[in-house]
Amino acid sequence: MNPIEELTPKGVWKNFYALTQIPRPSGHTEQVAKFLVDFAQKNGAEAYIDEAGNVVMKKGATPGYEDRETTVLQAHMDMVPQKTKDCNHNFETDPLDVYIDGEWVTARDTTLGADDGMGVAAAMSIIEDDSVEHGPLEVLITRDEETGMDGAFGLKAGELTGKYLLNLDSEEEGEITIGCAGGVDIICQMEYQEINVDANNMLCYNISIKNLLGGHSGLEINKGRANANKLMARILFAVVNTQMAWLVNWHGGNMRNAIPRESDATVLVPQAQEKEFLALIEKCRDTFCEEYKDIETKTLQLTVTPIESIPSKAVPEDIQENLINAILAAHDGVLRNTPSMPELVETSCNLAIINIADGKAEVITLARSSQDSMKQYLCNQYIACFSMAGMSVKLEGGYSGWQPNPKSPLVELMSSIYEKMYGKRPIVGACHAGLECGIIGVNYPDMDMASYGPTLVSPHTPNEACLIPTVERFYNFTLEILKNIPKKQ
């Protein structure tokens, strides 16, 4: 038995560990969906996969609780597949290497998947434990939340009957979230004709930025962390615009909702410019380390490595300048905080993914805002900026934010229960991350919803960790909420 399965509460940790052994990156959830359906059916619950690929479980009320309103427990089955640069983990086939580090559970060199494996594990534990007191229960485990909330968008009206929904996908124990930002993917693309390269008197180098903290592009966008793509844009702007280098290809980031930790570019350097080129890279390294010395607690790594084989093709001069200029000019990070709540980010974007190679260029950014007008303003900035670079710009997967209801009966019930259990009122507020409640609420406008969870740090990065003591508090809180759900009117 793995030591994690011995942690308290055992049911939650046992189920969480089981989830870590099943590959479940976004876009590859078939295996975990089948596992969840089999698990529920083995424990006497009705379970099936709906048309959108979500897992739905239904369990009857505990004797004596048949007259209670139906409650929905909601989480998502997929996880963000992030790993360190040198890790050879395959998220589609390999189990996670999870371990206990003091008061934390984390994974070796990869994301942990506690976002939202902890929510799923808690729901599983309630399904299998017949001693839990609850009214009629529905469990909704959505697919591909991290890459576009596809499961939530595909959920049909009438699939659920619950009056209350407990979203188990927040990352700070002691807080109840009642609203979140909306988001949209901004996808900029173009094709170009590569030019032939005269290899005579040319050298080839790979420029690599890695070992940044990265982080969740909603929850941690306001922490001032470096974006590897933006750092690379600064380097390329300096070396390309001064004819020290010629761009061959550029790849940075791999998840729209993760702040890029790594970025790599291949460039051609005239032999006569080599010394000046290397000196400029060294200057950039010193500059970046100085700028981020109080934020990037790991050692920021900027390396330049010679490549023996000289590429035969490269990006045309006008195209490379337009692309680098647009990427450097495009906004990244916080655009505005909420005027009425200055501590809460209102509008931001994450310049997440860059792929320039083989005659194709793509830049993907996730824009977020709790104000649709500000979200559109940010989109228009990108449309204007990248259109001038000759790229087509399209918007995909847009959704509005979840508007808070401070008079929610569910939230008042939860706050009262939390105070009785732990001697203080929970913090109630909104967050800048995307939650599925707003999307689900389109088809279920009368459903009363709230989000909460155990404490996680650095989700969407290989530093992701879950604080062990908060899991028991989170789970016991959930059991007490279910026990006190009101009777049907």
Q: Residue 42, exposed/middle/buried by CB under 10 A (0-12, 13-18, 19+)?
A: exposed
Instruction: Assess contact for 247 and 345: CB atoms under 8 A.
Output: no
Angle between helices 228-240 and 274-291 (to 10 degrees): 150
CA 118 to centroid of chain Cα atoms: 15
C-alpha 240/C-alpha 247 separation (Å) is 7
CA 389 to centroid of chain Cα atoms: 28
Q: Is the peptide bond before 409 cis (omega within 30 degrees of 0)?
A: no
Q: Please measure the distance between the N-terminal and C-terminal CA atoms of the chain and give it in whole angstroms.
A: 46
Of 352, 265, 350, 260, the residue nearest 300 (C-alpha)? 260
Q: Which of 78, 116, 169, 464 is catalytic?
A: 78
Residue 145 annotated among the catalytic residues of the structure: yes
Tokens read off for 487: 């009777």
Q: Which of 128, 145, 173, 296 is catalytic?
A: 145
Q: Residue 154, exposed/middle/buried by CB under 10 A (0-12, 13-18, 19+)?
A: middle
Q: Could you list the active site residues?
A: 78, 145
